[in-house]
Amino acid sequence: MAKILVIDDDSSICETLDLYLTEEGYEVQTANTGTDGLNQFVESPPDVVILDIRLPDIDGFAVLEDLREEDENVKVIMITAFHDMDTTINAMKGGAFDYIHKPINVDELEIAIKKAVKTLEMEKKIDGLLMEPSRSFKVGDIIGTGKGMREIFKTIGVVSQSRTTVLIQGESGTGKELIAKVIHHNTAPDEPYIAVNCSAIVETLLESELFGHEKGSFTGAVNRKLGKFELARYGTVFLDEISEMSLNLQAKLLRVLQEMEFERVGGKDRVKVHARIIAATNKDLKTLVRDDKFRDDLFYRLNIVAINIPPLRERRDDISLLIDYLLTKINLDLHKRIVSVSDEMMDIFMKYSWPGNIRELENLLVRAAVVAKGQVLVRGDFPELMEENHGVGREEHGKGNDYSISGRPMTLDEMEEHHIRKVIRENSHKNKGEICEILGISRPTLERKLEKYGIVFERE
Ligand SMILES: Nc1ncnc2c1ncn2[C@@H]1O[C@H](COP(=O)(O)OP(=O)(O)OP(=O)(O)O)[C@@H](O)[C@H]1O
Ligand SMILES: [Mg+2]
């Protein structure tokens, strides 16, 4: 059970919380001063700290800072007697996990503690995933190690504490739906998760899918039908490919987001929305806004919390981990015992541009696993990747200047990345300065581009 440290100068509060929380099954320590609290924290680190802002010796904010210095991930719930925004905002800015007001409502406190413990568990799980050398994976894990992915894990942790709207942007196959499901699972696992693909359905149908309709509201509406927003209850509505929604429906969705209420098609009753809305797109909504294809007010509403998933080619360090993970999954599904991919394939994978991202990697591995004869997937197991128009072999064989991948022309960015990688690869003995010279760019420009494309280049 989780360990809790209560720091409050009011002994009666300490005693009451001690009694109550012990009863609830927590292990409780108490301290009446900031100094004592800090000492206890160091001696026997708790999972959660409940901290009063007004303390006799040190200011609660300073204690918070010290606690966070000891352990950056400590979960501190601040108790504040002041009902003003500033104290709260300062507490949250200072890295408090949550805050509750005096007089303490124990239910509210319990909810905050439970959330803190849950977040801690999730962070540990993620850390474990990142650090453990030989892991056993679970389906639904999100694999990622770089800074971009870590930020995403953090955001998932934060949004799982609330019901804020989330916008997930990323190329096709980067894991948008996976992330939506993880957020749902961490927020309201027992409530429905309902996905709606906004591009798959014609406008009028989509409207009644989302909002439902009353009996007789249009030909064919023989019964009242509940829409997804209602069916999702306190769960999640996942609006996939939101960019494809018509401007007309965008206006209606905006109203729902603003008022958290709507009317069924052909109805007058106002229906409340309790579900969290997660929208996803593989297009750049900002560009669509600029081209008047997407409402800017809706964009800002959706974009309150944005998760931008980097494409696989910008986080190649994850490829090998992803392969381990996907092979575990594939072995389970197909009753196979594939151990790895060959070094040669690994080299090819590391250079490939992955336009279809993780889904493409997964599909390739599944198909290879089906035909593979051995336990290691070799070049011959990936016929389509080697095909003429697939770009992989081509890049290596330098077949001239047909700059295409997967049968489509490269974008300028892809071409630039491709060229930089090629120059670095072909000049393995040269240092950064010399590479700059070959490319005809300055050092800062090179640094910027390396960062942009996620190219690791350690030579000075
Ligand atoms: N980081 C990841 N770790 C493990 N598996 C992943 C990760 N990202 C994606 N996947 C897997 O890749 C596949 C594609 O992911 P998902 O369907 O979530 O992508 P998407 O962004 O919604 O794609 P699309 O835009 O084409 O709908 C899924 O099987 C998913 O489980
Ligand atoms: Mg998807």
pLDDT band at 140 (very low <50, low <70, confident <90, very high): low
Per-domain residue ranges of the chain: 3-122, 154-308, 322-409, 411-460
pLDDT band at 11 (very low <50, low <70, confident <90, very high): very high
Mutate to test the pocket of ligand 1, among 149, 166, 177, 317 (most ligand atoms within 8 A of CB): 177
CB 1 within 8 A of CB 120: no
pLDDT band at 14 (very low <50, low <70, confident <90, very high): very high
For residues 173, 176, 179, 181, the Cα torsion angle rounded to the nearest 10 degrees is -100
Residue 380 host element (H or E): none
pLDDT of 127 > 60? The answer is no
Query: pLDDT tens digits for 148-200?
Result: 887 888 788 888 888 899 999 999 999 999 999 989 988 888 999 999 999 87
Q: Which ligand is nearest to the CA of 129?
A: 1
CB 314 within 8 A of CB 353: no
**What's residue 186's pLDDT?**
84
**What's residue 30's pLDDT?**
96
Q: Please report the DSSP string for 386-434 in residue order.
A: HSGGGSHHHHHHT-TT--EETTEEPPHHHHHHHHHHHHHHHTTT--HHH
Task: Name the residue with higher pLDDT: 115 or 165.
Answer: 165
| Helices then strands, each counted (H, E), the chain | 20, 18
Closest CA to 50 of 121, 102, 90: 102
With H, G, I as helix, E, B as strand and everything else as coil, classify residue 18: helix
- Residue ranges lining ligand 1, Cβ < 6 Å: 142-144, 170, 172-178, 282, 325, 358-359, 362
Query: pLDDT tens digits for 58-86?
Result: 889 999 999 999 988 889 999 877 555 56
Domains 3-122 and 154-308 share a fold: yes
Q: How far, in Å, from the CA of 238 to the mean position of ligand 2?
A: 10
Beta-ladder partners of 279: 167, 239
Which tokens in the block code for residue 328?
């575990």
Q: How far, in Å, from the CA of 319 to the mean position of ligand 1?
A: 14
**What's residue 82's pLDDT?**
59
Q: Which ligand is nearest to the CA of 181?
A: 1
Q: Tell me what percent of the residues of the chain surpass a pLDDT of 90.
A: 46
Mean predicted confidence (pLDDT) in 200-225: 84
pLDDT band at 22 (very low <50, low <70, confident <90, very high): very high
**What's residue 391's pLDDT?**
47
Read off the DSSP letter of residue 265. B
Mean predicted confidence (pLDDT) in 299-325: 92
**In CATH terms, is domain 411-460 a member of 1.10.1740?**
no
61 φ, ψ (degrees, to nearest 5): -65, -40
CATH of 154-308, one of 3.30.200.20, 1.10.20.60, 3.40.50.300, 3.90.110.10: 3.40.50.300
Which tokens in the block code for residue 195?
């996905």
Mutate to test the pocket of ligand 1, among 150, 167, 169, 178 (most ligand atoms within 8 A of CB): 178
Lowest mean pLDDT among 45-59, 98-112, 309-323, 395-409: 395-409
Q: How far, in Å, from the CA of 413 to the mean position of ligand 1?
A: 23
Which tokens in the block code for residue 84?
């003003």
In 264-423 the beta strands, taken as DSSP E runs, fall at: 270-272, 276-281, 305-308, 340-341, 376-377, 404-405, 408-409
Q: How many residues does the chain have?
A: 460
- Of ligand 1's atoms, which has the minimum distance to the CA of residue 362? 12
Task: Name the residue with higher pLDDT: 116 or 239.
Answer: 239
- Of ligand 1's atoms, which has the minimum distance to the CA of residue 177? 18
Task: Name the residue with higher pLDDT: 176 or 112.
Answer: 176
Query: pLDDT tens digits for 362-401?
Result: 999 999 999 888 889 998 898 877 653 344 544 433 334 4
CATH of 322-409, one of 1.20.1050.10, 3.20.20.140, 1.10.8.60, 3.20.20.70: 1.10.8.60
**What's residue 273's pLDDT?**
94
**What's residue 424's pLDDT?**
84
CB 200 within 8 A of CB 243: no
**In CATH terms, is domain 3-122 a member of 3.40.50.2300?**
yes
What's the CA gap between 94 and 61, in Å, rounded?
7
The answer for 242, left when phi > 0, alpha when psi is -120 to 50, beta otherwise, is alpha
**What's residue 337's pLDDT?**
87
The rounded mean pLDDT for the chain is: 85
CB 369 within 8 A of CB 353: no
Instruction: Name the residue at shortest CA distance from atom 12 of ligand 1.
Output: 359
pLDDT of 36 > 60? The answer is yes
Q: How far, in Å, from the CA of 172 to the mean position of ligand 1?
A: 8
Lowest mean pLDDT among 201-215, 264-278, 395-409: 395-409
Q: How far, in Å, from the CA of 221 to the mean position of ligand 2?
A: 30
pLDDT of 403 > 90? The answer is no
What's the CA gap between 396 and 172, in Å, rounded?
25
Q: Which ligand is nearest to the CA of 179?
A: 1
Which tokens in the block code for residue 227?
């829409």
Q: How far, in Å, from the CA of 427 to the mean position of ligand 2?
A: 39
